[in-house]
Structure formats: C-alpha cells, structure tokens
Structure 1
C-alpha cells in the first residue's frame, strides 16, 4: 500500500508539473504581447476596408502559440521580444493593407487580408507526389504567412491536425489554425533552409553554402527563408523594405534593437 501511495503521489506531482509548465508557456506570449500592445500594432486590422476584419483576434493569436511553446520563450528577454517583433513584422507584410500615405502610416495596416488577392495560379506542384493536389482545390496564399503550394499545405496540415490538401480553405476559415500555420512555418526547419526561429534566437550556424551565398543571420535571412526566390539579391526591393519598415516599427514598440542584417539584397536565395 505504501508503495502504491508513493507511485500515486509521484503521478499527481507529475501532472501538476505538466499543468504548471503548460500554464507558464501559454502565458509567455500574453506577457510579452499584452492585448494593448497587440491592438497598438494592428490599429486597422478590423477596419471595414480590410477583408480579414474580425478574423485575426488577439485571443486566437495567443491560443495558437500554445502549440509552439518555444516561440518567444528562448533566450534573453531582448531576444524573445525581437523574435516576436520579427514574426509579427513578417506576417504584417504578408497581409498588409497599407500604402505610403495610409492613415497612421503604411505600417499600421498589418493583418488586413486572410487570403491572396487575384492568385495567378492554383499553386499546385503536380510533380510533388508526396503531397498530391486534389481536384477543385487551390493552394494559394492563405492566413498570416500566406501559406502557399500543396507541398506546404500538406505537411502543415499533418503537423496541426487538419487535412491541408483536401481542405486548404480551413486556413482562411479558422483563425487559430491560420495563426498556427504561420507559426508552423516560422518554427520548422525545411532543409536547406533553417527555421526563422533559429535565426532570430541566434542558433543559426551558416553552412559552407550559406557563407558563399552571404546568407548572414538577422531579420533579412528570415525574408530569404519566406520569399527569397522573389525578393532577395535585388538592391532596394520595395517588398523587402516594407518588411523592414514593419520590423522597425514593432521593435520600437517592444523597446528592443532590431539587430544587424535587416535586408537580403546581397544574399542569394536558397536553392
């Protein structure tokens, strides 16, 4: 009986420890990004001019981070704030509704869209047999990171518990899953690309190929990871500058330095 009681006590303590850990991790983002800060970043996300108005709620953002407890929780407070600012900057550019003379400036209009406007194709790579496309389904940009292509919808869906290939529209219909797809992309290494998370917490170690391509650590490398094939290696690219503008604004709101290597104009894209 004493041995049984001892085992029961250990089990209860383990459960309490797990619950306490989960509570701590779940509140990490809420402490780093209180609702007042979130609202000050995304001033116009619920503007009636934004197609995504009412979709990207603070509560959905915080809930989505529960699945990725290492997001915004690794390193010093400065590192954690910088990573979150970088992530929010990247998703802001991907969903921006801003323009140069927009009210409150061009960087106050993040999270305005939840789906790509006028997609140029169905984003189906038919040569990818591991993640096959389904008829009458399109894989254009959806959600905060504008998840695109069947080879991203498939693994994202598998990781997050929805059928990304048969039901890609889930990303633009469920705000928690939408945020989770952005976090999945941010946190997941896709060789030869490192994860954006590892880059922003200083864990990235360039390979010989990275060094030859001038792929140095910093915010610019996360742009290369996200859309380098279209934006990097181009001096003064406006899309890159828009990403940087959001990052600089958010870093200021977080009261944290941006760090070096903000652009990717001298970097070669990943293969």
Structure 2
C-alpha cells in the first residue's frame, strides 16, 4: 500500500485567536482559525506560517476545503506532525514497492500534513523538494514548511488537484485511502468522520453543502 496513514479528526470548538495577517489565496487567517479550531492560537499561527511559506494557493474555495479537510483528518486537526503510534507503528513502514530501501536506523511512519509514510514516498518527495528525506525523515515532522510541502507533493503527484477543484471529495479520499475507506471497506466509518470534517470546512469557507456526493 502506498497511501498515507491518518490519525483521524477531533471535534470541538477550540479557543479563538488569529493565525496572523495575510492569507493563502482564498484561505484567510480567520478561515484557517475556523477550520483548525481544536488547537491554540500560537500553534495555529505556526502551522499557518508553514502553509504561507510554501507559496501554494488553492485555485478556489472547493479546493481549499478538500485539501484542508484531509489535512485536519490526517493530523488530528494539526495537533500532531507525527503518527501517535510512532515510533512503534508496526514495522515503521520500512517495506518498499520501489527500488529504494529504508536507510539504516531510520523510520518512515507518518509525518507532516498528510502523514507521509514509507521509504518510496520519502525518497520521491525529497527528490521533488530537493531534500534528502530518506536520510533525514524527521525534517518532515520538525520543519513547518516541509511538513506542508510533503503533503502538497503527494497531493499533486497523485492527481488530487483536479477533483478537489471541482469539489469531488470522494475522488480525493479514494486516492488517499480508498482501499480502506471506500466501498464500505473496513475504514468506512473513518471516512464518514473525514466527510463530516469536509462539510465543516466548507461552512468555514462559506460555500455550503457539497454539490457532489462526498462519500466514496
């Protein structure tokens, strides 16, 4: 399996505060605060600054809602940049489906905004970003900009932008974790939590209910 592993969202109405000035395209600081409402203002500002540092902007509000909903779900509302089970996550995702093997002593459990996992993904993301993430996987967890950029790498490398821009959340979930969550798979209830987060993100962005069925 070459997807990402998420920790699932929390629900709640966290404290106020602002992520700071400016915006990331249609994502204003107040919208970011609304979506990531279960972390404190200081952490939220740090996460928002990481997003701004990448230079990425969503094409429209549909794309913003899709991307940020998946981020919320995979990171427990941006509370964590590493899987909660780490470092003892099974085999630490040391297996490989490509020609790249794990570096000695390094672990490839989920890190960053999309919980990047497995040696092949760390290597390919690092090649794209110009960083040796195979040898230094902890960068994904510890550098706010890289934490976002690895998610954007997966997002773009796997063709998520096009369905996101048309508001097809189900198609993007299928890309991320389809084998587990789609078609009444074992993670179906997990998908429903993901969808609820997506609907809430749309409300924060002021675009109402999805026009395309968000369940895959």
Is TM (by shorter chain) over 0.5?
Answer: yes
| Contact preservation (8 Å) 2:25, 2:58 | no
Q: 5+ unaligned residues in a row in structure 2: which ranges?
A: 1-21
Partner in structure 2 of residue 122 of structure 1:
92
Q: Deviations over 1:85-104 (max 9, x none)?
A: 110000101111xxxxxxxx
Q: 1:226 pairs with 172, 176, 190, which one?
A: 176
| Contact preservation (8 Å) 1:187, 1:196 | yes
| Contact preservation (8 Å) 2:102, 2:134 | yes
Distance in 1, Cα, partners of 2:161 & 2:148? 15
| Contact preservation (8 Å) 2:67, 2:164 | no
> Structure 1 225/127 Cα, relative in aligned 2: closer, same or farther at 3 Å?
closer
In the alignment of these two chains, the number of paired residues is 191
RMSD: 2.4
Normalising to structure 1: TM-score of the pair?
Answer: 0.65
Deviation for aligned residue 1:126 = 4.0
Deviation for aligned residue 1:181 = 0.7
Bigger Rg, structure 1 or 2: 1
Q: 5+ unaligned residues in a row in structure 1: which ranges?
A: 1-27, 74-79, 97-109, 190-194, 203-216, 265-271
Distance in 1, Cα, partners of 2:141 & 2:151? 12
Distance in 1, Cα, partners of 2:70 & 2:58? 15
- Mapping for residues 122-161 of structure 1, pairs under 5 Å: 122-126=92-96, 128-129=98-99, 131-161=100-130
> Structure 1 238/198 Cα, relative in aligned 2: closer, same or farther at 3 Å?
same
> Structure 1 201/36 Cα, relative in aligned 2: closer, same or farther at 3 Å?
closer
| Contact preservation (8 Å) 1:56, 1:111 | no
Structure 1 runs (4+) greater than 6 angstroms displaced: none
Distance in 2, Cα, partners of 1:112 & 1:81? 23
Where relative contact order (Cα < 8 A, 6+ residues apart) is larger, the structure is 2
Partner in structure 2 of residue 38 of structure 1:
32
Partner in structure 1 of residue 142 of structure 2:
173
